[in-house]
Structure 1
Amino acid sequence: MRPYLLVSATLILLAGCVPVSVYHKAGGTLTRLQNDEVNCQVQALQKVPVNKITRITPIRTLPREVCNSRGHCRIVYMEFGGDVETYDANLPLRQKVEAQCMINKGYQQIELPICENRPTTLPGTMPGLTTNSCAVKTKTGYRAATPG
Structure 2
Amino acid sequence: MRAVFFIPALAGLFLVSCQTGPATIIFKPGTLGAERQRDVDMCEIASFKEIPQNIATQINPGYSSPPTVQCNNVGGFVACNTFGGVNIPASAYNYDVNQGLRFRFVRRCLQAKGYSFVEKPICTADQKTPDIPYKSPDEVKCVRRAPN
Question: Aligning the two structures, in what range does the TM-score lie when normalised by the shorter sequence?
Answer: 0.5 to 0.7
Residue correspondence of structure 1 range 68-107 to structure 2 within 5 A: 74-107=82-115
Distance 2:139 2:55 in 1: 41
**Identity score, percent:** 23
Question: Is residue 2:130 matched to residue 1:130?
Answer: no
TM-score, structure 1 length as denominator? 0.66
CA RMSD of aligned residues (A): 2.8
**Could you tell me which residue of structure 2 aligns to residue 54 of structure 1?**
57
**Residues 99 and 78 of structure 1, relative CA distance in 2, 3 Å threshold:** same
Number of residue-to-residue matches in the alignment: 119
| Aligned-residue offset at 1:33 | 1.1
TM-score, structure 2 length as denominator? 0.66
Unaligned stretches of 5+ in structure 1? 1-14, 66-71, 140-148
**Could you tell me which residue of structure 1 aligns to residue 29 of structure 2?**
26
Moved over 3 A (4+): 61-65
Distance 1:24 1:102 in 2: 10
Paired letter, 1:80: I
**Could you tell me which residue of structure 1 aligns to residue 47 of structure 2?**
44
Paired letter, 1:98: V
- For the Cα contact (< 8 Å) 2:120–2:143, is it kept in 1? yes
Unaligned stretches of 5+ in structure 2? 1-17, 69-79
| Aligned-residue offset at 1:95 | 0.3
**Residues 101 and 78 of structure 1, relative CA distance in 2, 3 Å threshold:** same
